[in-house]
Amino acid sequence: MLTRKIKVRDLVIGGDAPISVQSMCATRTQDIEATVRQINDLVSHGADLVRIAIDNDKDVEALKEIRRQTRARLVVDLQENFPLAEKIAPFVDKIRYNPGHLHHLDRTTSIENKVSWIAAIAKQHGLALRVGVNCGSIAPDFLQKFPGDHVGAIVESAAWHCDLLDQLHFMNYVVSLKDSDPHQVIICNQRFRARRPDVPIHLGVTEAGLPPDGVIKTRIAFEKLIPQGIGQTIRVSLTLANEKKYEEITIGRQILKDIADKKFISVPDFGKGLNIISCPSCSRVENAAFVVLAQN
């Protein structure tokens, strides 16, 4: 079954559209020159969407100038600061919100009303939304409803937000269910797809880490899910130097080509017990242990 189609400006995601590939700038957003340069580099290597980090009003001001200098399809993650949606909406094409972060600010307003407000802004400006559920920041309500069931909490949180957006008559959204363990990514996305086969999925392994490990972890998930029709847009989240950030795109497209050509090279048990924390969104890397797969 094909998912429904959504649009990020002129880009169609879902249905019979090609799988789109996204990356993210690792630059400081307020360094406008460096950020525009990296956006252009990513686009020149085939990025369909480029995410940039916006955390405060100074970043918003930088975003305005960045938008003036580029027509790339821009994505912004609201992180814990959902009120920024109103300020950034005129300058982006897609907004990602994390259900697990909505409770941090304005605790007197219900989650339903916060999502309704975000959806109204997205509708007003013709934007797409991504409901991005992450293993490290699951909404407390769902952790309480599914004690000890990590996968259940992620899947049900995503499904609940889909139902809410549908009730609000906002359909231009995708969902992501991410974990740093590729095996958990597989289980979460398979369960969600069974629950909501109509919803396009943004696929990725969060905190994937340094190459080659991060590439292998990503391939494990992608090689299992994409042939099942799970994954209408992807991100390969790697820890890379700024000048090599484009490799997220080239590697992502190579993985897609290999899957289409039925060239599967993943190692099923790789990644179990691996202790790598790599957060591309905040440029933080902590390598407690680094395991290099022996090349056979």
Q: What is the pLDDT of residues 192-206, one digit of tens each?
A: 999 999 999 999 999
pLDDT at 267: 59
Distances (CA, A) of 5 to 97, 121, 172, 173, 293: 20, 20, 8, 9, 38
| Mean pLDDT of all residues in 170-188 | 97
Long-range contacts of 255-262 (CB under 8 A, 24+ apart): 255/215, 255/218, 255/219, 255/222, 255/223, 256/19, 256/21, 256/222, 256/226, 259/222, 259/223, 259/226, 259/227
Do residues 35 and 25 lie in contact, with contact meaning Cβ atoms separated by under 8 Å?
Answer: yes
Please give the span between the terminal C-alpha atoms of the chain, in angstroms, as a whole number.
Answer: 38
Domains and CATH numbers, the chain: 6-287 (3.20.20.20)
Is the confidence at residue 134, as pLDDT, over 80?
A: yes
Q: Between these two residues, 282 and 107, which has the higher pLDDT value?
A: 107
| Mean pLDDT of all residues in 215-224 | 96
| Mean pLDDT of all residues in 102-125 | 96
Residue 157 tokens read as 């949180």
Closest CA to 2 of 221, 252, 193, 222: 193
DSSP codes of every residue in 156-176: HHHHHHHHHHHHTT---EEEE
Is the confidence at residue 137, as pLDDT, over 80?
A: yes
| Mean pLDDT of all residues in 104-126 | 96
Tell how far CA 73 is from the center of its chain.
Answer: 14
Q: Between these two residues, 278 and 16, which has the higher pLDDT value?
A: 16
Tell how far CA 7 is from the center of its chain.
Answer: 16
Q: How far apart are CA 214 and CA 279, in angstroms?
A: 12
Overall pTM > 0.85 = yes
Residue 283: pLDDT band with limits 50, 70, 90 = very low
Do residues 135 and 154 lie in contact, with contact meaning Cβ atoms separated by under 8 Å?
Answer: yes
